[in-house]
Amino acid sequence: MSSHDAIPAPGGEHASAGGGHYPAHTPKAPRVAGVEFIGTGSYLPEDKITNAGLERIMDTTDEWIVQRTGIRERRKADPAKHESAWTMASGALENALADARIPADQLDLIIVATVSSEMATPSVASRIANRLKAGKAAAFDLAAACSGWVYGLNVAHEMIRGGGITTAAVIGTEHLTQYMDYSTAGRGCAILFGDGAGAAVLRRAADPAKGAIAWSMHGDGTGWKDLYIPRRPDDLPEGTDPAAVKMGQMFMNGREVFKFAVGTFQSLIAETLDKAGVRAESVAHFVCHQSNVRILEAARERFGIPQDKLYVNIHRVGNTSAASVPICFDELRRAGRIHPGDKVMFLAFGAGLTWSSSLWQF
Ligand code: COA
């Protein structure tokens, strides 16, 4: 776990007391900058998988899915239209760059959070850099499942804030429908996930007060076996009957993940507010991973968060893992609901197990 609590004031802290054994010198200002979002974008495939469509292929009902998850439909990438993790990510970043009004060659860094890239190498980030002509931008992928984009946001923020780079793109993209078992055996998991991508462009800001005022990144590898996509029988947790799990398809222990998510989500909000010394009512928006509407509602009730401060789009797009938070944020921003001076908390949790937050001052 690592975190920071506040942005140090620029200048002065390392000033020489003078008159000692060391020559007097003019201290350099600490390399601390503000960070701001200058653009966002998203990409959602047109094809939909509705609950009615699922009723036709597995033993489930619209009523069961809506009651347990809040989901009514999710999007599905169509390989015939060349939709995949990297092409959706590329579309989302193009939209974010258009919103930011900067060309791709101004990017110093591209981070792509995904668990569903087409190839083990090169990274999705490298392919995007090539397609969008991002010049010599550093480019890498990050695999932290549903927490991936928030992990990436914190990494890019710290790199900009520390002065190493000026402009970064952080993208979340997932083509998860390819890993779903749409037979009745996989119905607990397959109803949840959809495809899509969301992107944000961050830039160094003159005002050091702008940027993350508190963040957290956590993991607990002991929970890896509650959510995984095995490729070989050797990948299965010890003692698992290979006949019970299909290779190449997502396995989820829904009840365990639910318990983890409800508890973690709430403690993550409390921890982040504590670190920042901020009360829940001062936060304008909680932009949360869309895993299950019941998990979101439990947190909303515990912290007394009004409905309009906790954005929900899971009914339209399902759980898009790493793409979930940036898609929500892009929708909020495009609706004109993010204002200068707002505090916005990003939150996510998922496979690994992993969880992460980032509380921003706009
Ligand atoms: N349609 C109809 N019935 C279903 C079903 C479906 N799609 N999926 C499961 N069921 C049945 C089960 O077979 C079980 O039947 P039984 O009691 O006769 O055995 C019953 O519903 C309850 O199953 P259970 O798995 O306990 O359901 P649940 O209330 O825990 O809901 C989830 C299942 C997946 C919706 C819930 O566990 C969940 O949301 N977990 C967290 C998932 C998540 O957030 N994952 C991503 C993390 S990033």
Radius of gyration of the chain (CA): 21
Active site residue: 51, 154, 292, 319, which one? Answer: 319
Residue nearest to atom 44 of ligand 1 (CA): 291
Whether the CB-CB separation of 327 and 44 falls below 8 Å is answered with: yes
pLDDT tens profile 11-37: 333 333 333 455 555 545 455 789 999
Query: Does the pLDDT at position 180 exceed 50?
Result: yes
> Does the C-beta of 257 come closer than 6 Å to ligand 1?
yes
> Does the C-beta of 72 come closer than 6 Å to ligand 1?
no
**Residue 174, beta-bridge partner list:** 196
Q: Phi and psi for 162 in degrees, rounded to 5?
A: -75, -10
> Domain segments of the chain: what residues?
34-205, 211-361
Is residue 319 among the annotated active site residues? Answer: yes
Q: Which atom of ligand 1 is nearest to the CA of 351?
A: 48
pLDDT tens profile 63-121: 999 999 999 999 999 999 999 999 999 999 999 999 999 999 999 999 999 999 999 99
Give the distance (Å) from ligand 1 centre to CA of residue 191.
9
Residues in CB range of 308: below 8 A, 6 or more apart: none
Residue nearest to atom 23 of ligand 1 (CA): 188
Give pTM, 2 decimals: 0.90
Residue nearest to atom 37 of ligand 1 (CA): 254
Domain 34-205, second-level architecture: 3-Layer(aba) Sandwich (3.40)
CATH no. for 211-361: 3.40.47.10
pLDDT tens profile 273-289: 999 999 999 999 999 99
Task: Pull the structure tokens for residue 281.
Answer: 């009512």
Task: Pull the structure tokens for residue 126.
Answer: 């490298």
> Does the C-beta of 188 come closer than 6 Å to ligand 1?
yes
Residue nearest to atom 15 of ligand 1 (CA): 188
- pLDDT at residue 243 in the model: 85
Give the distance (Å) from ligand 1 centre to CA of residue 88.
29
The distance in angstroms from the start CA to the end CA of the chain is: 25
Q: Rounded to an integer, what distance in angstroms lies between the CA atom of residue 174 and that of residue 324?
A: 9
Task: Pull the structure tokens for residue 43.
Answer: 């990409």
pLDDT tens profile 214-260: 999 999 999 999 999 999 999 999 999 888 889 999 999 999 999 99
Q: Which atom of ligand 1 is nearest to the CA of 187?
A: 7
